[in-house]
C-alpha cells in the first residue's frame, strides 16, 4: 500500500509560531502534547492548509499570519508514493496564497490535494451528527471534491447558480411576466442540470461510504446490528419538474425551495435516528465512523492512505470508545494533539511537548 | 497625502481596473518625472479615445465612424453573426482569421447577482438585425462559464423560433498542448464533445 507521509513540517510566522521545524515519526502515531492555547491545533491547521489552502477552523488569513508579520510560510516535505515533494506555501496579507512543489508554482488547490490528503478528527465533528443538514452536505461534498474533483466542482457551480436564481427572484418581487419567465427558465435549467448531477454523485458517495461507516460503528460502539446511511433528496422525479411545481412558492418567498441545497443525509443506528434519538456518546461514535469511512474510501479511491490528524479527538470519548478507536486507527502516519494524558492503549512512536511556541522531544 | 495635483492623479489612477494604491503612486510619480511631451501624449491619447471612439451602430464594436471597420468591410459575410460579450472578444476571434462574418457585442452576460438581465444586454438590437440583414446563422460565442452558458441558452431560446440556425462554440483542449496537463473539467468537456473519426 502506498502511503502519504509527512517527512518534515516547518512554519514561519504562522499563528503564534515564530519558527518551528518538526520531523514527525514517519509511521505510526506522533503525539503533540501541550497546554491549552500552546498552539497544538495550529500545527495541524498548518498541515491542512498545505493541502487545501483553508483553515479547518474557519479562520481568516489575517488570523493565520502571526501578529506583527505580513507573511506566513509553511513548508511541508511529503513522500507521496515514491516521490518526494517539497511543498511550500506563502500566505501574504493582501494577496492570494501561493504554493510551490519542488520550487514549481502550483496553480490551484487541486494540485496540492493530489500530493497531500488528510483526514481530520476534531471534537466538533459531533455537529456532523447533531447539527443542521448543511454540515452533513458539506461533509459529503468535501469527500466528493477530494475523491472526484470534477464532480466536486458541481458544488461551487451550484452555489453560484443559486445566488443568481435567488437574486433574480428577489428582483422579480413576486411578479412574473412572460419575459421574466424565459429568464427564470434559463436558471432553472442550469440548476436542474447541475443539481441532479450533484445529487446523484452525493447519493452514490453516501452509498459507497455506508458499509465502511457501518463497520466502524459496530466496532466503536461495540454494537452490532443495523447502521444505515441514506441520502435524502428534497424532491422526487426530475428536478426541472420539481422546480416548475415550486415556482409559485419560490416567487413568493424569493428563494429556491427545492434542490440539493435542501437535501440531507439520514443516519440510523440500531433503528434509531442518529440526529434526534441517540445518546451523545453514540452520536460521537457515529461522527467518528463518518470520518473513518471517508478515510477508508479515500484510501481505496486514490490508492494512498491520507495522513490522519486527530485534534484533541479523544478528550470527550469514554474509555471504551477511546480504546476501540485506538485499536481501529488505520495504518499509516497519524498525528494526535492532547492537553492531557495519552488515550488508553495508544503506543506512540514519538511524543513531543509544545511549550512557549517551541517543540521539545 | 501628497500636494494637491499629485494626490488627484494618484486617486484617479487608483480608480483604474487592476491598479492598486501603490501602483497608482508609482505611475503618478513616473508621470511627474517624465518629460512634458510624453506626459502630454498620454493625456492626448486619453482625450482622443473618449472623443473619437464610439460604438458601432450595427454591432456595438468600438468604432471611429458610425460603423466599425468590420461592419463597413464589404467582403465580410453579413449572413453569419458571431455574438460575443465584449469588444475584446472580437479581437480574439479575429486573430484566428477563421471567421469572415460579422459580430454582435452584447455588452456582458446574464448575471442577476450583478443586476444584469436581458434588458441590460443588447438583445433587442440583435433581433432587429436578424429581421433586416437576412442572417442565416448565429454563432453564440459567449464565455464557457456559468453566466456565458446561461446567456447562450437564453439567446438560443429566443432565436430558434425565428427560424435562424443557431450554433455554440465548442469547449475542449488547447491545440498543441499535452493531455496530461489538461485540467479535468476541460478534459471532461472535451470527452463529452468528442467526434467520430471518419478515416
**How far is B165 from A266, CA to CA, in rounded Å?**
48
Q: Do B188 and A150 touch (CB under 8 A)?
A: yes
**Domains in chain B, ordered, with CATH?**
4-52 (1.10.8.420), 74-196 (3.40.1360.10)
Q: Do the Cβ atoms of A172 and A180 come closer than 8 Å?
A: yes
Q: Which residues of A touch B154 (CB under 8 A)?
A: 182-183, 186
pTM > 0.95: yes or no: no
Domain ranges of chain A: 1-117+306-361, 124-303
Please report the pLDDT score of residue A179 as a whole number. 84
Question: Which residue of A109, A113, A164, A179 is the best one to mutate when testing the B interface, meaning the one whose CB has the most B CBs within 10 A?
Answer: A164
Q: Which residues of A touch B184 (CB under 8 A)?
A: 110, 149-150
Q: Which residues of A touch B116 (CB under 8 A)?
A: none
| Cβ atoms within 10 Å, residue A175 | 7
Please report the pLDDT score of residue B87 as a whole number. 94
Asked whether the domain spanning A124-303 has the same topology as the one spanning A1-117+306-361, the reply is no
Residue A294, Cβ density class (10 Å: 0-12 exposed, 13-18 middle, ≥19 buried)? buried
Nearest to A164 among B113, B158, B185 (CB): B113
Chain B contact for A187, CB < 8 A?
A: yes
Model confidence pLDDT, tens digit, residues B26-52? 999 999 999 999 999 999 999 999 998
Nearest to B146 among A149, A157, A182 (CB): A157
Chain B nearest CA to A147, separation (Å): 13
Q: Do A160 and B146 touch (CB under 8 A)?
A: yes
Scanning chain B, the segments in alpha helix (DSSP H) are 4-14, 21-33, 36-52, 87-96, 123-133, 146-159, 184-192
Chain B contact for A104, CB < 8 A?
A: no
Place of cell 481568516: A60
Closest residue in A to B145 (Cα) is A157
**How far is B169 from B156, CA to CA, in rounded Å?**
13
- Sign for the CA dihedral angle at A202, A203, A204, A209 comes to positive
**How far is B37 from B19, CA to CA, in rounded Å?**
24
Please report the pLDDT score of residue A58 as a whole number. 86
Residue predicted with more confidence, B184 or A30: A30
Looking at domain A124-303, its CATH architecture is: Up-down Bundle (1.20)
**How far is B173 from A63, CA to CA, in rounded Å?**
40
Residue A160, Cβ density class (10 Å: 0-12 exposed, 13-18 middle, ≥19 buried)? middle
Per-residue pLDDT for B121 more than 70? yes
Please report the pLDDT score of residue B190 as a whole number. 85
Place of cell 461495540: A222
Q: Do A182 and B157 touch (CB under 8 A)?
A: yes
Closest residue in B to A187 (Cα) is B150
Please report the pLDDT score of residue A1 as a whole number. 53
Q: Which residues of A touch B192 (CB under 8 A)?
A: none
Integer CA distances (angstroms), A99 to A47, A94, A96, A108, A113, in order: 13, 16, 10, 8, 12
Looking at domain A1-117+306-361, its CATH architecture is: 3-Layer(aba) Sandwich (3.40)
Angle, CA of A346, A3 and A147, to the nearest 5°: 105
Q: Which residues of B touch A183 (CB under 8 A)?
A: 110, 117-118, 154
Nearest to A186 among B153, B185, B188 (CB): B153
Chain A nearest CA to B5, separation (Å): 28
Nearest to B112 among A149, A171, A185 (CB): A171
Please report the pLDDT score of residue B3 as a whole number. 74
- Sign for the CA dihedral angle at A90, A95, A100, A103 comes to negative
Stretches where chain A sits below pLDDT 50 are none
**How far is A222 from A270, CA to CA, in rounded Å?**
12
Residue A179, Cβ density class (10 Å: 0-12 exposed, 13-18 middle, ≥19 buried)? exposed
Question: Which residue of A186, A188, A192, A198 is the best one to mutate when testing the B interface, meaning the one whose CB has the most B CBs within 10 A?
Answer: A186
Closest residue in B to A154 (Cα) is B185
Q: Which residues of A touch B23 (CB under 8 A)?
A: none
Q: Do A168 and B157 touch (CB under 8 A)?
A: no
Amino acid at each position: 500500500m502506498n502511503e502519504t507521509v509527512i517527512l518534515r513540517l516547518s512554519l514561519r510566522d504562522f499563528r503564534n509560531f515564530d519558527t518551528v521545524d518538526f520531523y514527525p515519526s514517519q509511521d505510526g502515531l506522533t503525539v503533540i502534547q501541550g497546554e491549552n492555547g500552546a498552539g497544538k491545533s495550529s500545527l495541524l491547521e498548518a498541515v491542512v492548509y498545505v493541502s487545501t489552502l483553508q483553515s479547518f477552523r474557519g479562520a481568516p488569513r489575517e488570523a493565520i499570519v502571526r501578529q506583527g508579520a505580513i507573511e506566513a510560510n509553511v513548508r511541508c516535505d511529503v513522500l507521496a508514493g515514491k516521490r518526494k515533494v517539497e511543498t511550500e506555501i506563502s500566505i501574504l496579507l493582501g494577496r492570494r496564497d501561493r504554493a510551490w512543489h519542488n520550487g514549481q508554482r502550483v496553480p490551484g488547490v487541486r494540485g496540492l490535494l493530489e500530493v497531500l490528503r488528510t483526514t481530520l478528527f476534531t471534537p466538533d465533528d459531533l455537529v456532523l451528527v447533531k447539527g443542521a443538514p448543511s454540515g452533513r452536505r458539506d461533509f459529503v461534498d468535501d469527500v466528493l471534491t477530494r475523491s472526484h474533483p470534477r464532480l466536486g466542482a458541481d458544488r461551487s457551480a451550484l452555489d453560484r447558480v443559486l445566488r443568481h436564481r435567488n437574486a433574480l427572484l428577489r428582483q422579480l418581487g413576486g411578479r412574473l411576466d412572460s419575459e421574466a419567465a424565459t429568464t427564470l427558465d434559463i436558471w432553472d435549467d442550469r440548476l436542474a442540470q447541475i443539481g441532479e448531477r450533484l445529487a446523484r454523485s452525493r447519493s452514490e458517495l453516501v452509498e459507497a461510504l455506508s458499509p465502511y461507516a457501518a463497520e466502524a460503528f459496530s466496532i466503536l460502539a461495540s454494537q452490532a446490528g443495523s447502521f444505515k446511511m441514506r441520502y435524502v433528496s428534497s424532491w422526487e422525479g426530475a428536478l426541472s419538474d420539481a422546480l416548475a411545481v415550486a415556482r409559485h412558492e419560490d416567487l413568493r418567498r424569493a428563494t429556491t425551495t427545492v434542490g440539493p441545497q435542501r437535501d440531507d443525509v439520514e443516519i440510523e443506528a440500531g433503528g434509531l435516528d442518529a440526529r434526534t434519538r441517540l445518546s451523545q456518546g453514540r452520536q460521537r461514535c457515529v461522527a467518528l465512523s463518518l470520518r473513518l469511512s471517508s478515510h477508508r474510501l479515500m484510501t481505496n479511491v486514490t490508492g494512498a492512505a491520507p495522513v490522519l490528524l486527530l485534534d484533541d479527538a479523544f478528550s470527550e470519548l469514554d474509555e471504551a470508545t477511546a480504546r476501540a478507536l485506538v485499536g481501529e486507527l488505520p495504518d499509516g502516519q497519524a498525528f494526535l494533539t492532547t492537553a492531557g494524558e495519552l488515550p488508553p492503549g495508544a503506543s506512540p512512536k514519538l511524543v513531543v511537548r509544545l511549550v512557549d511556541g517551541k517543540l521539545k522531544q | 497625502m501628497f500636494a494637491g495635483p499629485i494626490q488627484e492623479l494618484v486617486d484617479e489612477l487608483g480608480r483604474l481596473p487592476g491598479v492598486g494604491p501603490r501602483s497608482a503612486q508609482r505611475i503618478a510619480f513616473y508621470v511627474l518625472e517624465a518629460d512634458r511631451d510624453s506626459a502630454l501624449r498620454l493625456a492626448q491619447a486619453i482625450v482622443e479615445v473618449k472623443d473619437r471612439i464610439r460604438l458601432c451602430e450595427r454591432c456595438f464594436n468600438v468604432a471611429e465612424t458610425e460603423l466599425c471597420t468590420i461592419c463597413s468591410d464589404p467582403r465580410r459575410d453579413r449572413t453569419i453573426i458571431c455574438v460575443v460579450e465584449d469588444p475584446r472578444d472580437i479581437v480574439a476571434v479575429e486573430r484566428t482569421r477563421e471567421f469572415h462574418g460579422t459580430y454582435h457585442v452584447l455588452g456582458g452576460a446574464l448575471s442577476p447577482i450583478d443586476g444584469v438581465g436581458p434588458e441590460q444586454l443588447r438583445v433587442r438590437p440583435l433581433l432587429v438585425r436578424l429581421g433586416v440583414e437576412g442572417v442565416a446563422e448565429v454563432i453564440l460565442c459567449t464565455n464557457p462559464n456559468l453566466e456565458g452558458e446561461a446567456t447562450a441558452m437564453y439567446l438560443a431560446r429566443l432565436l430558434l423560433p425565428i427560424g435562424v440556425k443557431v450554433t455554440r462554440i465548442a469547449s475542449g483542449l488547447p491545440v498543441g498542448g499535452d493531455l496530461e496537463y489538461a485540467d479535468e473539467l476541460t478534459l471532461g468537456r472535451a470527452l463529452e464533445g468528442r467526434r467520430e473519426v471518419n478515416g
